[in-house]
Amino acid sequence: MSSRLPTTAECVIVGGGVVGCSLAYHLARRGMKPLLIERNQLGAGSTARCAGGVRQQFSTAVNVKVGMLSLQLLERFDDETGQSADLRQIGYLFLASTSQAAEQLKRNFEVQRNAGLDDVRWLSVDEALELFPDMRGDDLTAATFCPSDGLAGPNEVVSGYAAAARRHGAVIVEGTAVDAILRDGDRVLGVSAGGEHIDTPLVINCAGPYAGQVGEMAKVDVPVKPYRRHIFLTERFELRRRPPMTVDFATSLYLHPEGDGLLLGMSDPDDVSSFDTSVSWDSLEHMLQHAAWRLPALEAARIRTGWAGLYEVSPDHQAIVGESPDLAGFWLCCGFSGHGFMQAPAIGQLLADVMLGRTPEIDIAPFAPDRFGHGETEAELAVI
Protein backbone atom coordinates (compact mmCIF):
# COMPACT_ATOMS: atom_id res chain seq x y z
CA MET A 1 0.00 0.00 0.00
CA SER A 2 2.67 2.50 1.03
CA SER A 3 4.53 2.11 -2.27
CA ARG A 4 1.62 3.82 -4.01
CA LEU A 5 1.95 6.90 -1.83
CA PRO A 6 4.55 9.56 -2.47
CA THR A 7 6.38 11.01 0.55
CA THR A 8 5.75 14.61 -0.50
CA ALA A 9 2.98 16.33 -2.41
CA GLU A 10 2.22 19.88 -3.56
CA CYS A 11 -1.21 19.41 -2.02
CA VAL A 12 -3.32 16.57 -0.61
CA ILE A 13 -7.05 16.35 -1.34
CA VAL A 14 -8.87 14.28 1.30
CA GLY A 15 -11.88 12.55 -0.29
CA GLY A 16 -12.56 11.36 -3.83
CA GLY A 17 -16.23 12.17 -4.31
CA VAL A 18 -17.35 14.42 -7.11
CA VAL A 19 -15.99 17.48 -5.27
CA GLY A 20 -12.49 16.08 -4.68
CA CYS A 21 -12.28 14.74 -8.25
CA SER A 22 -13.39 18.05 -9.79
CA LEU A 23 -10.85 19.96 -7.68
CA ALA A 24 -8.08 17.48 -8.56
CA TYR A 25 -8.85 17.97 -12.25
CA HIS A 26 -8.97 21.77 -12.13
CA LEU A 27 -5.75 22.01 -10.08
CA ALA A 28 -3.92 19.53 -12.33
CA ARG A 29 -5.08 21.33 -15.47
CA ARG A 30 -3.53 24.49 -14.06
CA GLY A 31 -0.18 22.75 -13.60
CA MET A 32 -0.31 21.61 -9.98
CA LYS A 33 0.29 17.95 -9.09
CA PRO A 34 -2.33 17.14 -6.45
CA LEU A 35 -2.41 13.89 -4.51
CA LEU A 36 -6.01 12.77 -3.92
CA ILE A 37 -6.54 10.16 -1.19
CA GLU A 38 -9.87 8.30 -1.00
CA ARG A 39 -10.49 5.73 1.71
CA ASN A 40 -13.00 3.68 -0.31
CA GLN A 41 -13.61 3.92 -4.04
CA LEU A 42 -13.92 7.14 -6.00
CA GLY A 43 -17.48 8.44 -5.96
CA ALA A 44 -18.80 5.74 -3.63
CA GLY A 45 -19.88 8.18 -0.86
CA SER A 46 -22.79 10.64 -1.07
CA THR A 47 -22.07 11.12 -4.75
CA ALA A 48 -23.17 7.56 -5.55
CA ARG A 49 -26.45 8.09 -3.66
CA CYS A 50 -27.45 11.35 -5.28
CA ALA A 51 -30.36 12.04 -7.64
CA GLY A 52 -28.14 13.65 -10.28
CA GLY A 53 -30.08 16.92 -10.29
CA VAL A 54 -28.34 19.99 -11.71
CA ARG A 55 -30.12 23.30 -11.36
CA GLN A 56 -29.58 27.02 -11.33
CA GLN A 57 -32.77 27.95 -9.44
CA PHE A 58 -31.53 29.00 -6.00
CA SER A 59 -32.36 31.80 -3.57
CA THR A 60 -28.90 33.40 -3.33
CA ALA A 61 -27.16 35.12 -6.23
CA VAL A 62 -23.89 33.26 -5.66
CA ASN A 63 -25.59 29.86 -5.88
CA VAL A 64 -27.45 30.89 -9.06
CA LYS A 65 -24.13 31.92 -10.64
CA VAL A 66 -22.37 28.75 -9.46
CA GLY A 67 -25.25 26.71 -10.94
CA MET A 68 -24.94 28.55 -14.26
CA LEU A 69 -21.18 27.97 -14.41
CA SER A 70 -21.57 24.29 -13.51
CA LEU A 71 -24.11 23.86 -16.32
CA GLN A 72 -21.71 25.48 -18.81
CA LEU A 73 -18.92 23.15 -17.65
CA LEU A 74 -21.19 20.09 -17.93
CA GLU A 75 -22.26 21.18 -21.44
CA ARG A 76 -18.62 21.07 -22.58
CA PHE A 77 -17.61 18.17 -20.32
CA ASP A 78 -16.89 15.86 -23.31
CA ASP A 79 -14.52 18.38 -24.85
CA GLU A 80 -12.75 18.95 -21.56
CA THR A 81 -12.47 15.41 -20.20
CA GLY A 82 -13.09 13.19 -23.23
CA GLN A 83 -16.09 11.56 -21.51
CA SER A 84 -19.82 12.21 -21.47
CA ALA A 85 -21.46 13.73 -18.36
CA ASP A 86 -24.77 12.15 -19.43
CA LEU A 87 -26.35 15.60 -19.23
CA ARG A 88 -30.13 15.60 -19.82
CA GLN A 89 -31.59 19.11 -19.75
CA ILE A 90 -35.19 18.19 -18.96
CA GLY A 91 -35.77 21.33 -16.88
CA TYR A 92 -36.67 21.88 -13.22
CA LEU A 93 -40.26 22.79 -12.36
CA PHE A 94 -40.73 24.36 -8.91
CA LEU A 95 -44.32 24.32 -7.59
CA ALA A 96 -45.81 26.54 -4.87
CA SER A 97 -48.88 25.25 -3.03
CA THR A 98 -48.89 27.72 -0.12
CA SER A 99 -48.78 31.51 -0.11
CA GLN A 100 -45.49 31.37 1.79
CA ALA A 101 -43.95 29.08 -0.85
CA ALA A 102 -45.26 31.35 -3.64
CA GLU A 103 -43.72 34.43 -2.01
CA GLN A 104 -40.39 32.66 -1.64
CA LEU A 105 -40.50 31.43 -5.24
CA LYS A 106 -41.16 35.01 -6.36
CA ARG A 107 -38.15 36.28 -4.41
CA ASN A 108 -35.98 33.46 -5.79
CA PHE A 109 -37.16 34.21 -9.32
CA GLU A 110 -36.13 37.86 -8.98
CA VAL A 111 -32.69 36.91 -7.60
CA GLN A 112 -32.24 34.43 -10.47
CA ARG A 113 -33.18 36.97 -13.18
CA ASN A 114 -30.93 39.62 -11.61
CA ALA A 115 -28.07 37.12 -11.52
CA GLY A 116 -28.44 36.62 -15.29
CA LEU A 117 -30.46 33.40 -15.47
CA ASP A 118 -32.45 34.52 -18.51
CA ASP A 119 -34.30 31.31 -19.33
CA VAL A 120 -36.05 30.86 -15.96
CA ARG A 121 -39.80 31.49 -16.40
CA TRP A 122 -42.60 32.44 -14.06
CA LEU A 123 -45.52 30.13 -14.91
CA SER A 124 -49.25 30.21 -14.38
CA VAL A 125 -50.75 27.04 -12.91
CA ASP A 126 -52.15 26.15 -16.35
CA GLU A 127 -48.69 26.44 -17.90
CA ALA A 128 -47.25 24.22 -15.16
CA LEU A 129 -50.00 21.66 -15.84
CA GLU A 130 -49.10 21.67 -19.52
CA LEU A 131 -45.58 20.54 -18.58
CA PHE A 132 -46.89 17.92 -16.15
CA PRO A 133 -50.51 17.12 -17.07
CA ASP A 134 -50.80 14.11 -14.71
CA MET A 135 -50.19 16.08 -11.54
CA ARG A 136 -52.84 17.59 -9.27
CA GLY A 137 -52.90 21.36 -9.63
CA ASP A 138 -55.95 22.54 -7.70
CA ASP A 139 -53.89 23.65 -4.68
CA LEU A 140 -51.15 25.35 -6.72
CA THR A 141 -50.70 29.10 -6.81
CA ALA A 142 -47.47 29.58 -8.76
CA ALA A 143 -44.57 27.82 -10.44
CA THR A 144 -41.21 28.53 -12.01
CA PHE A 145 -39.49 26.56 -14.75
CA CYS A 146 -35.95 26.64 -16.08
CA PRO A 147 -35.54 24.47 -19.20
CA SER A 148 -31.73 24.36 -19.08
CA ASP A 149 -31.74 22.70 -15.61
CA GLY A 150 -31.82 18.90 -15.54
CA LEU A 151 -29.89 15.79 -14.68
CA ALA A 152 -26.40 14.40 -15.16
CA GLY A 153 -24.69 11.12 -14.32
CA PRO A 154 -22.77 11.06 -11.01
CA ASN A 155 -20.58 8.09 -12.07
CA GLU A 156 -19.85 9.67 -15.43
CA VAL A 157 -18.83 13.02 -13.90
CA VAL A 158 -16.60 11.39 -11.26
CA SER A 159 -14.85 9.08 -13.70
CA GLY A 160 -14.48 11.83 -16.32
CA TYR A 161 -12.84 14.22 -13.86
CA ALA A 162 -10.67 11.51 -12.27
CA ALA A 163 -9.35 10.22 -15.62
CA ALA A 164 -8.66 13.75 -16.90
CA ALA A 165 -6.99 14.71 -13.60
CA ARG A 166 -4.65 11.70 -13.91
CA ARG A 167 -3.82 12.63 -17.51
CA HIS A 168 -2.81 16.09 -16.28
CA GLY A 169 -0.51 14.60 -13.61
CA ALA A 170 -2.68 14.17 -10.50
CA VAL A 171 -1.99 11.10 -8.36
CA ILE A 172 -5.15 9.38 -7.11
CA VAL A 173 -5.00 6.67 -4.47
CA GLU A 174 -8.07 4.64 -3.45
CA GLY A 175 -8.58 2.30 -0.51
CA THR A 176 -6.44 4.42 1.84
CA ALA A 177 -7.74 6.64 4.64
CA VAL A 178 -6.14 9.84 5.80
CA ASP A 179 -5.95 9.24 9.55
CA ALA A 180 -4.08 12.31 10.81
CA ILE A 181 -3.32 15.85 9.74
CA LEU A 182 0.04 17.06 10.97
CA ARG A 183 0.52 20.63 12.06
CA ASP A 184 3.42 22.82 13.05
CA GLY A 185 1.78 25.46 15.23
CA ASP A 186 -0.74 27.28 13.04
CA ARG A 187 0.45 25.69 9.78
CA VAL A 188 -0.24 22.40 8.03
CA LEU A 189 2.81 20.16 7.80
CA GLY A 190 1.43 17.02 6.18
CA VAL A 191 -0.90 14.08 6.54
CA SER A 192 -0.61 10.52 7.68
CA ALA A 193 -2.28 7.88 5.50
CA GLY A 194 -1.82 4.15 5.03
CA GLY A 195 0.93 4.13 7.67
CA GLU A 196 2.95 6.77 5.78
CA HIS A 197 3.68 10.42 6.42
CA ILE A 198 3.29 12.70 3.44
CA ASP A 199 4.81 16.17 3.68
CA THR A 200 2.60 18.83 2.15
CA PRO A 201 1.92 22.52 2.77
CA LEU A 202 -1.71 22.27 1.58
CA VAL A 203 -4.53 19.93 2.60
CA ILE A 204 -8.05 20.29 1.18
CA ASN A 205 -10.94 18.78 3.12
CA CYS A 206 -13.31 17.30 0.49
CA ALA A 207 -14.70 14.62 2.80
CA GLY A 208 -18.40 15.38 2.22
CA PRO A 209 -20.48 14.35 5.25
CA TYR A 210 -17.24 13.35 7.04
CA ALA A 211 -15.76 16.85 6.73
CA GLY A 212 -16.32 17.47 10.46
CA GLN A 213 -14.26 14.37 11.33
CA VAL A 214 -11.45 15.40 9.00
CA GLY A 215 -11.60 18.85 10.62
CA GLU A 216 -11.13 17.22 14.03
CA MET A 217 -7.93 15.58 12.76
CA ALA A 218 -6.60 19.08 12.16
CA LYS A 219 -8.13 20.42 15.41
CA VAL A 220 -10.31 22.74 13.33
CA ASP A 221 -14.05 23.05 13.90
CA VAL A 222 -15.80 22.35 10.58
CA PRO A 223 -19.56 22.88 11.06
CA VAL A 224 -20.84 20.18 8.69
CA LYS A 225 -23.39 17.65 9.93
CA PRO A 226 -24.59 14.47 8.20
CA TYR A 227 -28.33 13.97 7.61
CA ARG A 228 -29.91 10.89 6.04
CA ARG A 229 -31.93 11.38 2.85
CA HIS A 230 -33.89 8.72 0.95
CA ILE A 231 -34.62 8.01 -2.68
CA PHE A 232 -37.15 5.47 -3.97
CA LEU A 233 -37.65 4.22 -7.52
CA THR A 234 -40.97 2.99 -8.86
CA GLU A 235 -41.43 0.16 -11.29
CA ARG A 236 -42.57 0.96 -14.83
CA PHE A 237 -44.95 3.89 -14.67
CA GLU A 238 -47.11 5.25 -17.52
CA LEU A 239 -47.66 9.00 -17.76
CA ARG A 240 -49.29 11.12 -20.46
CA ARG A 241 -46.10 13.15 -20.76
CA ARG A 242 -42.64 12.69 -19.22
CA PRO A 243 -42.43 15.48 -16.63
CA PRO A 244 -39.41 17.67 -15.92
CA MET A 245 -37.64 17.33 -12.57
CA THR A 246 -40.50 18.55 -10.38
CA VAL A 247 -40.11 20.02 -6.89
CA ASP A 248 -43.02 20.62 -4.54
CA PHE A 249 -41.41 23.56 -2.79
CA ALA A 250 -43.59 23.57 0.35
CA THR A 251 -42.97 19.88 1.21
CA SER A 252 -39.54 19.32 -0.47
CA LEU A 253 -40.92 16.34 -2.42
CA TYR A 254 -39.20 15.93 -5.79
CA LEU A 255 -39.61 13.48 -8.61
CA HIS A 256 -38.31 12.88 -12.09
CA PRO A 257 -38.47 10.15 -14.73
CA GLU A 258 -35.79 7.48 -14.27
CA GLY A 259 -35.67 4.71 -16.85
CA ASP A 260 -39.28 3.61 -17.37
CA GLY A 261 -40.26 4.57 -13.79
CA LEU A 262 -40.08 7.58 -11.50
CA LEU A 263 -37.48 8.59 -8.93
CA LEU A 264 -38.92 10.08 -5.72
CA GLY A 265 -37.07 11.97 -3.00
CA MET A 266 -38.01 14.08 0.01
CA SER A 267 -36.46 15.23 3.26
CA ASP A 268 -37.90 13.85 6.49
CA PRO A 269 -38.23 16.56 9.17
CA ASP A 270 -37.97 13.90 11.91
CA ASP A 271 -34.49 12.73 10.90
CA VAL A 272 -31.75 13.88 13.30
CA SER A 273 -28.10 14.20 12.36
CA SER A 274 -26.35 10.82 12.10
CA PHE A 275 -24.20 8.72 9.78
CA ASP A 276 -26.99 6.11 9.49
CA THR A 277 -27.65 5.17 5.85
CA SER A 278 -30.00 2.23 6.46
CA VAL A 279 -33.34 2.52 4.65
CA SER A 280 -36.27 3.50 6.86
CA TRP A 281 -39.49 2.20 5.33
CA ASP A 282 -41.42 4.74 7.44
CA SER A 283 -39.77 7.35 5.23
CA LEU A 284 -41.25 5.65 2.19
CA GLU A 285 -44.72 5.89 3.70
CA HIS A 286 -44.23 9.59 4.54
CA MET A 287 -42.93 10.29 1.04
CA LEU A 288 -45.65 8.31 -0.73
CA GLN A 289 -48.39 10.19 1.12
CA HIS A 290 -47.15 13.49 -0.29
CA ALA A 291 -46.23 12.03 -3.67
CA ALA A 292 -49.67 10.44 -4.21
CA TRP A 293 -51.34 13.73 -3.32
CA ARG A 294 -49.38 15.50 -6.04
CA LEU A 295 -49.53 12.63 -8.52
CA PRO A 296 -52.64 10.53 -7.75
CA ALA A 297 -51.61 7.78 -10.21
CA LEU A 298 -48.82 6.93 -7.74
CA GLU A 299 -51.44 5.24 -5.48
CA ALA A 300 -51.11 2.22 -7.76
CA ALA A 301 -47.32 2.42 -8.19
CA ARG A 302 -45.04 -0.38 -7.05
CA ILE A 303 -41.68 0.50 -5.51
CA ARG A 304 -38.77 -1.25 -7.19
CA THR A 305 -35.97 -0.21 -4.84
CA GLY A 306 -34.78 2.50 -2.48
CA TRP A 307 -31.63 3.71 -0.79
CA ALA A 308 -30.42 6.33 1.66
CA GLY A 309 -27.36 8.55 1.65
CA LEU A 310 -26.06 11.55 3.55
CA TYR A 311 -26.51 15.26 3.00
CA GLU A 312 -23.58 17.29 4.37
CA VAL A 313 -25.36 20.19 5.99
CA SER A 314 -23.79 23.53 6.97
CA PRO A 315 -25.50 25.99 9.37
CA ASP A 316 -26.78 28.23 6.53
CA HIS A 317 -27.10 25.55 3.81
CA GLN A 318 -24.30 27.21 1.86
CA ALA A 319 -21.04 25.56 0.91
CA ILE A 320 -17.92 26.21 3.00
CA VAL A 321 -15.06 26.93 0.60
CA GLY A 322 -11.74 28.59 1.37
CA GLU A 323 -8.77 28.47 3.71
CA SER A 324 -9.48 27.82 7.37
CA PRO A 325 -8.96 30.96 9.48
CA ASP A 326 -7.55 28.70 12.22
CA LEU A 327 -4.89 26.73 10.34
CA ALA A 328 -2.81 28.04 7.44
CA GLY A 329 -2.69 25.58 4.55
CA PHE A 330 -5.88 23.77 5.62
CA TRP A 331 -8.59 24.42 3.00
CA LEU A 332 -12.25 23.51 3.22
CA CYS A 333 -14.44 22.48 0.28
CA CYS A 334 -17.47 20.94 1.94
CA GLY A 335 -20.88 21.69 3.49
CA PHE A 336 -22.71 21.64 0.15
CA SER A 337 -25.95 20.83 1.97
CA GLY A 338 -27.34 18.49 -0.68
CA HIS A 339 -26.16 20.48 -3.73
CA GLY A 340 -22.62 19.20 -4.05
CA PHE A 341 -23.07 17.24 -7.24
CA MET A 342 -24.35 20.23 -9.18
CA GLN A 343 -21.89 22.67 -7.58
CA ALA A 344 -18.77 20.50 -7.94
CA PRO A 345 -17.83 21.41 -11.53
CA ALA A 346 -17.89 25.17 -10.85
CA ILE A 347 -16.47 25.02 -7.33
CA GLY A 348 -13.53 22.88 -8.49
CA GLN A 349 -12.65 25.54 -11.05
CA LEU A 350 -13.23 28.52 -8.74
CA LEU A 351 -11.30 27.09 -5.78
CA ALA A 352 -8.40 26.01 -7.99
CA ASP A 353 -8.14 29.62 -9.21
CA VAL A 354 -8.27 31.02 -5.67
CA MET A 355 -5.64 28.53 -4.43
CA LEU A 356 -3.33 29.47 -7.27
CA GLY A 357 -3.72 33.20 -6.65
CA ARG A 358 -5.85 33.84 -9.74
CA THR A 359 -9.08 35.85 -9.79
CA PRO A 360 -12.00 33.42 -9.92
CA GLU A 361 -14.79 33.96 -12.46
CA ILE A 362 -17.27 34.20 -9.54
CA ASP A 363 -16.45 35.75 -6.17
CA ILE A 364 -16.75 32.92 -3.64
CA ALA A 365 -16.42 35.19 -0.58
CA PRO A 366 -20.00 34.26 0.52
CA PHE A 367 -18.68 30.71 1.09
CA ALA A 368 -15.77 31.85 3.30
CA PRO A 369 -15.16 29.51 6.26
CA ASP A 370 -14.78 32.46 8.66
CA ARG A 371 -18.33 33.75 8.04
CA PHE A 372 -19.76 31.88 11.03
CA GLY A 373 -19.60 33.80 14.26
CA HIS A 374 -19.51 37.15 12.41
CA GLY A 375 -23.20 38.00 12.69
CA GLU A 376 -25.78 37.09 10.03
CA THR A 377 -24.94 34.85 7.09
CA GLU A 378 -27.18 34.66 4.02
CA ALA A 379 -28.92 31.27 4.15
CA GLU A 380 -29.81 29.35 1.00
CA LEU A 381 -33.59 28.82 1.07
CA ALA A 382 -34.16 26.74 -2.08
CA VAL A 383 -33.11 23.58 -0.29
CA ILE A 384 -34.79 20.27 -1.06
Ligand X SMILES: Cc1cc2nc3c(=O)[nH]c(=O)nc-3n(C[C@H](O)[C@H](O)[C@H](O)COP(=O)(O)OP(=O)(O)OC[C@H]3O[C@@H](n4cnc5c(N)ncnc54)[C@H](O)[C@@H]3O)c2cc1C
Binder of ligand X out of 96, 181, 198, 207 (CB under 6 A): 207
The dihedral built from the CA positions of residue 235, 239, 242 and 248, taken in this order, carries a sign that is negative
CB of 343 to ligand X, least distance (A): 6
CB under 6 A: which stretch of 40-48, 94-102, 126-134, 283-291 binds ligand X?
40-48
CB of 33 to ligand X, least distance (A): 19
The binding track of 312-351 with respect to ligand X, each residue x by CB under 6 A or -, is x---------------------x-x-xxxxx---------
Cα–Cα distances (Å) from 287 to 49, 226, 355, in that order, read 17, 20, 42
CB of 319 to ligand X, least distance (A): 9
Number of residues binding to ligand X, judged by CB under 6 A: 42
17 binds ligand X, rule: CB under 6 A: yes
* Distance (Å, whole) CA 246 – CA 55: 11
Judged by CB, which is closer to ligand X: 97, or 337?
A: 337
Question: DSSP alpha helices (H): ranges in 191-323?
Answer: 211-217, 281-294
39 binds ligand X, rule: CB under 6 A: yes
Cα–Cα distances (Å) from 324 to 267, 310, 340, in that order, read 30, 24, 19
Binder of ligand X out of 111, 146, 198, 206 (CB under 6 A): 206
Binder of ligand X out of 51, 157, 171, 220 (CB under 6 A): 51
CB 223 within 8 A of CB 320: yes
Binder of ligand X out of 32, 34, 46, 295 (CB under 6 A): 46
CB 108 within 8 A of CB 382: yes
Question: DSSP alpha helices (H): ranges in 82-153?
Answer: 99-114, 125-131
Judged by CB, which is closer to ligand X: 61, or 177?
A: 177
CB within 8 Å of 123: residues ≥ 6 apart: 93, 131, 142, 143, 144, 145
Judged by CB, which is closer to ligand X: 102, or 344?
A: 344
Binder of ligand X out of 34, 45, 329, 366 (CB under 6 A): 45
CB 51 within 8 A of CB 263: yes
104 binds ligand X, rule: CB under 6 A: no
Cα–Cα distances (Å) from 372 to 20, 193, 377, 381, in that order, read 23, 30, 7, 17
Residues 208-237 close enough to bind ligand X by CB under 6 A = 208-210, 214, 229, 231
CB under 6 A: which stretch of 9-17, 71-79, 101-109, 374-382 binds ligand X?
9-17
* Distance (Å, whole) CA 58 – CA 109: 8
CB of 38 to ligand X, least distance (A): 5
Q: At what angle do helices 61-75 and 340-355 cross, to 10 degrees?
A: 90
**Which parts of this chain interact with ligand X (CB under 6 A)?**
14-20, 37-40, 44-47, 49-53, 177-178, 206-210, 214, 229, 231, 265, 309-312, 334, 336, 338-342
